[in-house]
Amino acid sequence: MAVSLDLRTLLARLRSLSRVRNAEVVREELEGIRPEDLAEVLPRLKQEEALRLLEMLDDETSAQVLLDVPTESAKPLLAAQPDQTLAFYLDVLPMDDALDLREDIGDERFDALLEVIPKEDAQEIRRLLAYPEGSVGRSMTEDFFEVAPDADMASILTDIRLAPEGKYETVNDIYVLDVDRHLLGVFSLRQAIRASLDSTSREIMVPDPITVEADTPAEDAARLVARYGFYAMPVLDERGRMLGIFTVDDAQEIVTEADTEDVLKLGAVTGGVESYLSLNPWQLVKRRVPWLLALFVAETLTGYVLRYYGQGNGDLPLNPLTFFIPLLIGAGGNSGSQVTTTITRALALNEITPGDWWLVMRREFVTAVCIGLLLGTVGTLRALAWGTDWHLSAVVGLALPAIVVWATTVGSLLPIGAKRLGLDPAVMSAPFITTFVDATGLVIYFEIARLILPR
C-alpha cells in the first residue's frame, strides 16, 4: 500500500539513501512511497544525490518518478538516464508532451528512442513533430473517441466499457466523423448514457462544433477552451478532417504559463516559467539583471536632475550624498520586487512551501551577491564618471550590494512569512516591500557613508 510522508521527513530519508550503494536496500526502503511524492522531493536534492537515487531504482519506477518532476528540474536528470529508462519514460509520457524530450536529450538520441518504443507511438510523435512549434498541433493528442453517424448508443457504450485502459485521452466528448474523417458533430458521454440505446449518433449530436486548425497558436486555442468551458477542443486540418483533440489540462497549463510570464514581466523578471527549484542562482541572475540594469540606467536621470539643481545651476545647494539616493533606493526596491514576485508565484503554484525558507534564502543570497557586485561596479563607475570624489564613489559601490542583499532577503521572507501566517502573499508583500526597503536602504547608505567619508 502506498504511503504519504511529510516532505521534510522524506527529504531527509532520500538524502540518507543517496549515500547507500546497495540498490536492493534502496528499493526496499522506498517500497510503498508514491512516485508523485518522490518527484516532489527530488528537485530539493542536489543533482548528484538525485541521480544516485534514480540509478538505484528500476527503469520503470525511475521513469514514473521523472514523469512527475517539473520540466526544468527533470532536464539534467533525463539527459543522464540510460536508454532503457528513457524508453519507459517516453512510452508513458503523453504524446503531446513527448516532443519536449527531444530538446533535453538531443535529436540523435531521441530518434534512436523512437525505434525502441511501440511503433504506433513513434509514428504519432513524428506526425506531431510536423506541425509548427507553438501550434496547437504540437499539443494535441490523437487518442480521442470517434464514432460513425449511424452508430447506436448500445454499441458506443459497449466500446467504451471494453476499451483498454489508457486507449483514449478522454471520453467526456464523443466525436462523430464521416467516412472521410470530416467532423460532423459532437455529443457528451452524459448524453449517450441518458439517450435510448437505439438512438444514433446523428440524432443526438450537436452539429458544427467549435474547432481550431492544427497551425493555430496553442495559446489562442487554450483561451477558447477556457472561454467555452470545453473538456477538449477538436483540431482539424485545412480540409476540415479531424486530427485530434486539445484537452483542457494542456490548455490550462498553457494559459497558466502565459499568465505567469506576464506576472513575471510586471515584476521585471525575464525568461520562461520554469519551476523555481529547477533554477540555479546563475540562471536567476540572468533573468533579473537585464531589467535591473535597464532600470538602473533610467534612474540615473533623477541623479542628473539633483546634480543640476545642487551644483550651482540652481539655488538649492544639496549634499552630494543625495545625488545617488534614487539610484540606490531604486535598485533595492526593484531587486526586492523581483524576488517577491518570483517567490509569490512559486508559493501559489506549490513549487515551494514555507518549510523551504532556508533553501530559498541560500539560493537568493548567492543570487543577490552576484547582482549586487555587478550593480556596485556599475554604480562606482557611474559615480566616478560624474567626477565624484573617490570616497563617495566607494560608498556607492559598497552600499549597492548591501542594499540589494538586504532587499532580496526581505523580499524572500515576506511572502513566505505571509503564507505561514495564512495571509495572501500577493496582497501583503508587494506593497510593503518598496516602502520598507526605501527606509532601511537609506539607513544602510548613510551608515556606510559615516564610516568611509572623511569627517
Going by the DSSP 8-state scheme, the letter that residue 118 receives in this structure is -
Confidence (pLDDT) at 213: 93
Question: Which stretch of 63-72, 247-256, 441-450 has the lowest confidence by average pLDDT?
Answer: 63-72
Say which amino acid occupies 256. T
Question: Which stretch of 108-112, 268-272, 390-394 has the lowest confidence by average pLDDT?
Answer: 268-272
Q: How far, in Å, CA of 66 to CA of 35, rounded? A: 8
Under the banding of pLDDT at 50, 70 and 90, the label for residue 242 is very high
Q: What is the DSSP string of 38-55?
A: HHHHGGGS-HHHHHHHHH
* 424-443 confidence digits (pLDDT tens): 776 655 667 777 888 888 88
Percent of the chain predicted with pLDDT > 70: 88
Q: How far, in Å, CA of 240 to CA of 433, rounded? A: 54
> Quick one: 328 exposed, middle or buried, by C-beta within 10 A (0-12, 13-18, 19+)?
buried
> Quick one: 249 exposed, middle or buried, by C-beta within 10 A (0-12, 13-18, 19+)?
middle
Percent of the chain predicted with pLDDT > 90: 16
HEC string of 283-337 equals: HHHHHHHHHHHHHHHHHHHHHHHHHHHHCCCCCCCCCHHHHHHHHHHHHHHHHHH
Question: Which stretch of 134-148, 157-171, 271-285 has the lowest confidence by average pLDDT?
Answer: 271-285
Mean predicted lDDT score pLDDT of the chain: 81
Q: How far, in Å, CA of 186 to CA of 237, rounded? A: 17
Q: How far, in Å, CA of 437 to CA of 433, rounded? A: 6
Count CB-CB contacts under 10 A for residue 49.
17
Q: Residues 442-449: what's their mean pLDDT?
A: 89
| More confidently predicted of 316 and 319 | 319
Sheet harboring 212-213: ordered strands across? 212-213, 232-236, 242-247
Residue 245: strand pairing partners: 141, 234
Residue 202 has pLDDT above 70, yes or no: yes
Say which amino acid occupies 221. A
Count CB-CB contacts under 10 A for residue 124.
18
Question: Which stretch of 67-76, 173-182, 272-281 has the lowest confidence by average pLDDT?
Answer: 272-281
Which grid cell is 100?
519536449
Q: How far, in Å, CA of 124 to CA of 200, rounded? A: 30
Structural domains of the chain in order of their starting residue, each with its CATH number: 7-130 (1.25.60.10), 144-247 (3.10.580.10), 267-452 (1.10.357.20)
Confidence (pLDDT) at 3: 43
Confidence (pLDDT) at 430: 61
Question: Which stretch of 96-105, 210-219, 244-253, 325-334 has the lowest confidence by average pLDDT?
Answer: 96-105
CA distances 231 to 193, 217, 226, 244, 245, Å, are 17, 18, 9, 13, 10
Count CB-CB contacts under 10 A for residue 117.
19
Residue 212 has pLDDT above 90, yes or no: yes
| More confidently predicted of 47 and 193 | 193
Under the banding of pLDDT at 50, 70 and 90, the label for residue 2 is very low
Residue 151 has pLDDT above 90, yes or no: yes
Residue 262 has pLDDT above 70, yes or no: no
Residue 200: strand pairing partners: 152
Question: Which stretch of 55-59, 224-228, 348-352, 391-395 has the lowest confidence by average pLDDT?
Answer: 348-352
Q: Are the beta carbons of 133 and 217 closer than 8 angstroms? A: no
* 181-192 confidence digits (pLDDT tens): 999 999 999 999
Under the banding of pLDDT at 50, 70 and 90, the label for residue 147 is very high
Q: Look at the chain and count its residues.
A: 455
* φ, ψ at 392 (rounded to 5°): -70, -35
Q: What interhelical angle do 107-114 and 83-92 show, nearest 10?
A: 70
Q: Residues 366-390: what's their mean pLDDT?
A: 84
Residue 4 has pLDDT above 50, yes or no: no
The CA-based diameter of the chain, rounded to the nearest angstrom, is: 98
